[in-house]
């Protein structure tokens, strides 16, 4: 058992590497240091022949509140070597199976990262949201490409343009998650399914995943690059400045002149 940093726990056993968000006091909001730890954990798991499956999990009451806004505002716009993009590229190109257990809120990256997971299990308290537009920003993690493919354009537009939360049952109906269970059972189910995968021939798992994704791999990385360019530009524009100022001041943003 190792700590990639104090807020990210990495534990490997029986071929399964589990990455746990453990910044519960801050709703598992992700800092730049946490993104770096996540990216390093992905790279290590990919290189380790003893790791056959990866699992992402959080607490029974929270998966992740998304980016830590205060930390986020101190960081420069995302570049190709920034921790957040290293993490996104790492999860998008990870060759082995990836399983996720999601309970409670999964905000922003907490939802979009699931588009790169192979199996997703949700607690019945899970609440998914992608409020990028509400922050004066655009989607990331290639969600502008993958979400319409998964949900259809209108449903993806509703999720991304309105940015409103949707429940675990809705996520199940939309195809974003595989199964909904009580929160106390979710991590155990994800671990059990990961264990099943770890006992299968790794070469067959990797090749099957590659074949399913080979038609979109280049598109995903291109979408990430385009989103990152737009995201970085929009961070400097008035809408994002107003949204973040309102967040820090605990008030409603005023976009009437923007």
User: pLDDT, tens digit, for every residue of 219-241?
Assistant: 999 999 999 999 999 999 999 99
Q: Cβ neighbours of residue 126 under 8 Å, at least 6 residues apart?
A: 63, 102, 103, 104, 105, 106, 167, 168, 171, 177, 180
Query: Which runs of E-coded beta strand occur in 36-82?
Result: 53-57
User: pLDDT, tens digit, for every residue of 86-127?
Assistant: 999 999 999 999 999 999 999 999 999 999 999 999 999 999
Q: Cβ neighbours of residue 207 under 8 Å, at least 6 residues apart?
A: none
Query: Which runs of E-coded beta strand occur in 47-201?
Result: 53-57, 98-102, 105-107, 119-123, 127-129, 166-167, 179-181
Q: What is the pLDDT of residue 4?
A: 59
Rounded to whole angstroms, the Cα distance separating 216 from 53 reads 22
CATH of the domain at 79: 3.90.226.10
Residue 46 lies in a domain: yes
- Give the mean pLDDT of 133-139: 97
- pLDDT averaged over the chain? 95
pLDDT band with cut points at 50, 70 and 90 for residue 3: low
Residue 196 lies in a domain: no
User: pLDDT, tens digit, for every residue of 164-187?
Assistant: 999 999 999 999 999 999 999 999
Rounded to whole angstroms, the Cα distance separating 92 from 109 reads 13
Q: In terms of residue numbers, what domain contains 6?
A: 2-181
Give Dmax (Cα) for the chain.
58
- Are 72 and 36 a contacting pair, CB within 8 Å? no
Parallel, antiparallel or unpaired: strands 8-13 and 105-107: unpaired
Residue 222 lies in a domain: no
Q: What is the pLDDT of residue 74?
A: 83
Residue 220 lies in a domain: no
Q: What is the pLDDT of residue 77?
A: 63
Both ends of the chain: CA-CA distance in Å? 49
Short-list 31, 32, 238, CA closest to 135? 238
- Is 52 strand, coil or helix? coil
Domain count, the chain: 1
pLDDT band with cut points at 50, 70 and 90 for residue 54: very high
Long-range contacts of 43-48 (CB under 8 A, 24+ apart): 43/90, 44/10, 45/12, 45/17, 45/94, 45/96, 46/90, 46/94, 46/95, 46/96, 48/12, 48/17
Rounded to whole angstroms, the Cα distance separating 33 from 237 reads 25
Q: What is the pLDDT of residue 151?
A: 97
Residue 103 lies in a domain: yes
Residue 192 lies in a domain: no
Residue with structure tokens 């990639």?
4
Residue 191 lies in a domain: no
């Amino acid at each position: 058992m190792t700590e990639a940093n104090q807020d990210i726990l990495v534990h490997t056993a029986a071929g399964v590497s589990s990455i746990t968000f453990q910044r519960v006091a801050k709703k598992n909001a992700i800092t730049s240091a946490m993104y770096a730890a996540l990216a390093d954990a992905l790279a290590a798991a990919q290189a380790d022949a003893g790791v056959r499956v990866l699992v992402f999990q959080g607490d029974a009451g929270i998966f992740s509140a998304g980016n830590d806004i205060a930390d986020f505002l101190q960081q420069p716009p995302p570049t190709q070597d920034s921790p957040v993009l290293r993490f996104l590229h790492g999860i998008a190109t990870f060759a082995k199976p990836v399983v996720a257990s999601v309970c409670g809120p999964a905000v922003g990256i907490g939802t979009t990262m699931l588009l790169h997971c192979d199996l997703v299990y949700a607690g019945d308290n899970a609440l998914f949201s992608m409020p990028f537009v509400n922050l004066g920003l655009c989607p990331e993690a290639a969600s502008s490409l993958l979400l319409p493919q998964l949900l259809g354009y209108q449903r993806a537009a509703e999720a991304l343009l309105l940015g409103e939360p949707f429940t675990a049952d809705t996520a199940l109906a939309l195809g974003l998650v595989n199964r909904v269970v009580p929160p106390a059972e979710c991590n155990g189910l994800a671990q059990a399914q990961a264990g099943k995968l770890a006992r299968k021939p790794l070469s067959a798992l990797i090749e099957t995943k590659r074949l399913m994704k080979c038609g979109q791999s280049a598109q995903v990385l291109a979408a990430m690059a385009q989103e990152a360019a737009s995201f970085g530009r929009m961070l400097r524009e008035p809408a994002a400045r107003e949204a973040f100022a309102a967040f820090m001041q605990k008030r409603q943003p005023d976009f009437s002149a923007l």
